[in-house]
Structure 1
C-alpha cells in the first residue's frame, strides 16, 4: 500500500429483481376493502304503494294528470277519454313541450298491466317523465 492510495473494495452488485412484497400487501388490503364494502352497495327495493310518507307531488314546470279508476276508465286532467283520445292528447302535450311530466294516479284495485299500457301509450307519444302520485297514510 502506497502513500495516498486507497484500497477499493467491490460493492454489492445491483439487484435485478423487483421486490413484490409491497405490491402484494397493497393488493391484499384492497381485496379486504372490496370484500367489506360489496355487501353494503347491494340494496333491495321495497315498495308499498300507493300509500307512502312524503307523497307530495313534485313541482314540475308542466304536467298532465292521468287518472285510472277501479273500472279501468282513463281520465286526462279530470276528463274521461278513450284510448285513441289518450294517445292524441299525450302526443299533443309532447309536441308542445317534450319535458312534460305525466302525474299518474291509479287506484289500488287497477291491475298493473293496465298501468303499463298507459305508460306505453305515454312513451309512444314521446313523454318519458312519469311520476306516480300516492297519498300519505292517515
Structure 2
C-alpha cells in the first residue's frame, strides 16, 4: 500500500535542459558598457555672443536737485527758499527735461510729516520719477 509521490519514472533519465543565463547576462552587460563608452559624444552647442569685460562707467554724473524742508516747514530748492508756486514751476521744469534729474528730499527731523508728504505727492504728480528721501540717518540715531 505504499505510494511513490513525486517521482516519475519516465523523466528520470532526462537531464536538466534549462540554459544557465547568468553568464549570458554578464557578457551582454559588458558588451553594452563597451558600446556606451565607444560611442562618440554628440555635443550640441549654441553660440552666444557674451560681452567682454565690465561695461565702462557712465561718463557723466546725473544731475541732482535737492529740496530741503526745514524744522519750520520752510521749503528750499537747491538751497534757495521757494514758495509753493515756485516749487511747482521748478518741479515741472525738471520733470520736462529729457534726462530727468534725481530729486533728493532732505527733511529736517522736526519737519511736519504733512509737509514732507505734500512735497512727495507734488513731485510724483508733476512727473518726477527719480526721487528719494535723504538724511534718514539723523532720525535713526535718536532711536
> Smaller-chain TM-score range?
0.5 to 0.7
Larger of the two Rg values belongs to structure: 2
Q: TM-score, normalised by structure 1?
A: 0.52
* Greater relative CO (CA pairs within 8 A, separation 6+): 1
Structure 2 SS opposite 1:89: helix
CA contact 1:98–1:127 (8 Å) conserved in 2: no
Alignment-derived partner of residue 78 in structure 2 = 77
CA apart distance, 1:98 = 5.5
| Structure 1 unaligned regions, length at least 5 | 1-58
Q: TM-score, normalised by structure 2?
A: 0.50
The one-character-per-residue Cα deviations of 1:7-50 (angstroms, maximum 9, x if unpaired) are: xxxxxxxxxxxxxxxxxxxxxxxxxxxxxxxxxxxxxxxxxxxx
The one-character-per-residue Cα deviations of 1:65-121 (angstroms, maximum 9, x if unpaired) are: 000001111000000000111000010011113632110001001111110100111
Alignment-derived partner of residue 24 in structure 2 = none
Q: Distance in 2 between matches of 1:67 and 1:114?
A: 11
Structure 2 SS opposite 1:96: coil
User: Pairwise CA RMSD of aligned residues?
Assistant: 2.6
Number of positions where the alignment pairs a residue of Structure 1 with one of Structure 2: 85
Shift in alpha-carbon separation, 1:126–1:115, aligned structure 2, 3 A: same
